[in-house]
Amino acid sequence: MSNPQDPALDIVIFGGAGDLSWRKLLPALYMAHAHGRLPAACRIIGIGRQAWSRDDYARFINESSPPHIEASALNPATWQAFLAHLDYVQLDATQAADYERLQATCTPGSVKVFYLATAPSLFTQICANLDAASLIDPQARVVLEKPLGHDLPSAQVINEAVARHFKEHQIYRIDHYLGKETVQNLMVLRFGNAIFEPLWRAPYIQSVQITVAETVGVGSRAGFYDQTGAMRDMVQNHLLQLLCIVAMEPPISLDPDDVRDEKLKVLRSLQRMTLADIRQNTVRGQYIAGAVQGESAPAYLAEDNVPADSGTETFVALRTQINNARWAGVPFFLRTGKRMQARRSQIVIDFAQPPFSIFADQQQIQHPNRLIITLQPEESIQLQMMAKQPGSGMNMKPVHLNLDLESALAGRRAEAYERLLVDVTKGRLTHFMRRDELEAAWKWADPILEGWKQLGDKPRPYTAGTWGPAASSALMAREGCTWFEES
Ligand code: BG6
């Protein structure tokens, strides 16, 4: 619950009228407000170039955000009370003089959170202008939205520029996958239970697969997406962060730097790919027309604002490995794509086969023990085990121990953005990326992006509504593995 003693809080959103703001940030802040997670003296100050008044901005949010809030949580009186917290400042981010208006609007002595939901090319100027207007004090925080750069040098430029004005502990690099309930729960599953950790390594784990599949296409974001592609949009950040949580050593505490030190070690241990590895262990794809869940879907090349000859990938599958004592030799398969058959984010851990089978007259055990951690659309953890089929004979069949987290653990499940925004207001950095983590992720991704260029790699077509190009299954099959939906 909010405490009347809490200091005043100003959340200043650059790009306040942008897509991310009305679709994600304002709905998340509303939920935090509705559940008493924001201080009473909290103001949300939208920043934009439109010549709007406070009322115009409130009207805009009132029209655009409610469809993105769960209907059962939208209470008219609470919503109106939330709108009363909104303010608006017209400002051209590149004009230092405009920041005086922001200075005059902020509550004296407030904790200020600057959320930069703009093109990263503006980050440098925004930070410099905030500083010049004396808006940055030791309590201030800045939230940086991805993409943070398009390669290592550009990420370093941004980090360097922001570091001139904010100390590292004031910088919140957001990766909203780290705010998802099941991702946080994975740390509890690993480190709050004794049964998995001794087996959580080679040779007891045979392979790990991480899938983030979406059914949506690029929608209205083609301008951004075509310059970005699935590798930069999803793999370099969301999938690598999931990999880090699966693979990291137990941190010595939950302190932000203890957790981030361990994630950094994983990123640094990821095998760098040579051109030969890239040819052998990566698959790029691009969707062609098809049908997704019964609805026809156009080809990527036919989407609005996509150049007819675009070579941007909308799908990536790859095999990597972590060169350390725990994971030596264990393949990690990562896969993400748009316009796939189902929306599913899942981590699947395949354990090794029993070293010796007494069930000699059976064909080889086909199904390894498998831990299936589903992040979305539902949250669940399943453990696949072999059991005897009833009746005569020792016939085996895989069955699932099923932990349906949504029904097992009652309670409201906050959306990732709500949880992370509340973390920012409370100064909790654990679930945000540190500078060295971000740079280590680019160090791994850059050679792959560069390699695709050198090899003249063209994305393989896959029909919208499928699980991607056939080469993605072949990548697994080479090591005797299969993607979850194929087994
Ligand atoms: C964003 C990507 O970071 O994550 C989008 O830019 C993607 O392209 C989105 O659609 C997926 O997030 P979620 O939470 O819907 O799985």
The finding on whether 233 has its CB within 6 A of some atom of ligand 1 is: yes
Total Cβ atoms within 10 A of residue 172: 24
CA of 224 to the centre of ligand 1 (A): 13
Tell me how far apart the alpha carbons of residues 396 and 353 are, in angstroms, rounded to a whole number. 14
Ligand 1 atom at minimum distance from 376 CA? 16
Say which residue the tokens 């599913």 belong to. Answer: 344
Phi and psi of 185, rounded to 5°? -65, -25
Share of the chain above pLDDT 90, in %: 85
Mean pLDDT of the chain, nearest integer: 94
**Catalytic residue status for 238:** yes
Question: pLDDT-derived band of residue 486, with 50, 70 and 90 as boundaries?
Answer: confident
**What Å distances lie between residue 85 and 26, 41, 51, 98, 177, CA to CA?**
11, 8, 19, 22, 28
Q: What is the pLDDT of residues 193-227, one digit of tens each?
A: 999 999 999 999 999 999 999 999 998 889 899 99
Say which of 238, 367, 400, 431 is annotated catalytic: 238
CB 67 within 8 A of CB 24: no
Query: What average pLDDT score do residues 135-153 get?
Result: 95
Q: What is the mean pLDDT of residues 407-411?
A: 79
Q: Whose CA is nearest to atom 5 of ligand 1?
A: 233
Residue 220: its pLDDT value, please?
85
Q: Which of 20, 210, 234 to probe ligand 1 with, by most ligand atoms within 8 A of CB?
A: 234
Angle between helices 435-455 and 240-247 (to 10 degrees): 120
Tens digit of each residue's pLDDT (9 = 90 or more) over 5-28: 788 999 999 999 999 999 999 999
Q: What is the pLDDT of residue 362?
A: 60
Q: Report the pLDDT value the prediction gives residue 363, as an integer from 0 to 100.
A: 57
Structure tokens at 77: 């009186």
- Nearest-10 Cα torsion for 478, 482, 486, 487: 130
Query: How high is the pLDDT of residue 3?
Result: 67
Taking the mean position of all CA atoms in its chain, how far away is CA 23?
16
Q: Is the CB of 439 under 6 A from ligand 1?
A: no
- CA–centroid distance for 50 within its chain: 30
SS3 115: strand
DSSP-derived letter for residue 51 is -
C-alpha 469/C-alpha 480 separation (Å) is 18
Distance 22 CA to ligand 1 centre (A): 15
241-288 pLDDT per residue, tens: 999 999 999 999 999 999 999 999 999 999 999 999 999 999 999 999
Q: Would you place residue 365 in the very low, low, confident or very high pLDDT band (cuts 50, 70, 90)?
A: low
- Would you give the DSSP letter of residue 474? H
Q: Is the pLDDT of residue 120 over 60?
A: yes
Distance 338 CA to ligand 1 centre (A): 10
Helix (H) or strand (E) holding 210: strand 205-213
Distance CA 454, CA 52 (A): 48
C-alpha neighbours within 13 Å on the C-beta side of residue 281:
18
110 CA from centroid of ligand 1 (Å): 32
Ligand 1, atom 13, residue with closest C-alpha: 177
CA-237 nearest atom, ligand 1: 3
Q: For ligand 1, atom 15, which residue shows the shortest CA distance? A: 214
Q: Atom of ligand 1 at shortest distance to CA of 228? A: 6
For position 407, what pLDDT does the model report? 80
Q: How far is the CA of 276 from the centre of ligand 1 (A)?
A: 30
Cβ of residue 181 lying under 6 Å from some atom of ligand 1: no
Among the ranges given (73-87, 355-369, 438-452), the one the predictor scored with the smallest mean pLDDT: 355-369
Q: How many residues does the chain have?
A: 487
Asked if residues 344 and 373 have their Cβ atoms less than 8 Å apart, the reply is no
Ordered DSSP codes for 424-439: HHHT--TTSB-HHHHH
The one-letter amino acid code at 352 reads: A
214 lines ligand 1 (CB under 6 A): yes
Structure tokens at 21: 């703001």
